[in-house]
Amino acid sequence: MKALDLEAVQAFVLVADLKSFTRAAEAMDTSQSAVSLKIKRLEEELGRRLVERTPRLVRLSAEGDAFLNPARALVAAHQTAIGSFTVTERRLTVGISHHVVGAELPGVLKRVNSSEPGLVLQLHVAASQEILEDFDRGALDAAIVLRHDKRRRDGEVILEEPFGWMGAPDFVHRPGERLRVATQAEPCSVRGMAVAALKQARIPWTEVFVGGGVATIGAAISAGLAIAALGRRVAPPGTVDLGPRLGLPALPTREVMLCSNVSDRQARSSLRTLAAAIRSTAK
């Protein structure tokens, strides 16, 4: 049997993990058409239809699902063989804003690990301002943060993050009461954004919960304690944007920005994979 094209197999695994030809192309630093062609040729070599393509959905066929684990093993074996001459372990230290990762983080890490099994990924999760300070002093290889102003121009925009007043569908707010809000501790740019919007709209509010990250804020709003300004992408499953129902001011969209000071090819490849995995979580 003819030997399989390893890049085509890798493209197939990325499409399966990221559920997108576009995201797979970003991870491989190539074009969507090139990824499509690789998978088409792989299907021709195998004599099997691996991927079902529709305008809105990418999913594996039954044959593709059966091929996925062996394909992963083939890519991992190839990477292990190449890495056998590497003396030092590959480590990438990345800072990520609290408001960029939420309940989807396990899926992001799984996708990165599937594509980069030999990578030691060291994550620091904190406020965007803190992450950028650590990046600027050389403590981080890369920073993934929210851009709240246009002064910082040294990063690549990964995606646009729409924000909403997220809360449980059964959240109760009685007329005349102060709006119950969950926030992140200061300094937090998203907290400042939310407070400014409420003050400008002259909406009385009270802080009833101060969290230490999106996970804790998410727990508070899921429990019905309050509402919070959160990116819709990272808000807990089951929560909804209550802004229209409560007559709250619209919140702006923020850019998610990747700043990097890595120069070697493998590190850049790992960051492309991580960025593509984050993009793939956009709803």
Which residue would you say has higher pLDDT here, 92 or 84?
Answer: 92
Q: Over the stretch 137-195, which tens digit does the pLDDT of each residue have?
A: 889 989 999 887 777 777 888 888 999 999 999 999 988 899 999 998 887 889 999 99
Predicted TM-score (pTM) of the model is: 0.69
Is the CATH number of domain 163-252 3.40.50.300?
A: no
3-state secondary structure the chain: CCCCCHHHHHHHHHHHHHCCHHHHHHHHCCCHHHHHHHHHHHHHHHCCCCEEECCCCEEECHHHHHHHHHHHHHHHHHHHHHHCCCCCCEEEEEEEECCCCCCCHHHHHHHHHHHCCCEEEEEEEECHHHHHHHHHCCCCCEEEEEECCCCCCCCEEEEEECEEEEECCCCCCCCCCCEEEEEECCCCHHHHHHHHHHHHCCCCEEEEEEECCHHHHHHHHHCCCCEEEEECCCCCCCCEECHHHHCCCCCCCEEEEEEECCCCHHHHHHHHHHHHHHHCCCC
Write the pLDDT tens digit of every residue in 230-260. 998 889 889 999 999 999 999 999 989 998 8
Looking at the chain, the domain(s) classified CATH 1.10.10.10 span: 6-83
Of the candidate CATH numbers 3.40.190.10, 1.10.10.10, 3.30.43.10, 1.20.5.510, the domain formed by 6-83 belongs to 1.10.10.10
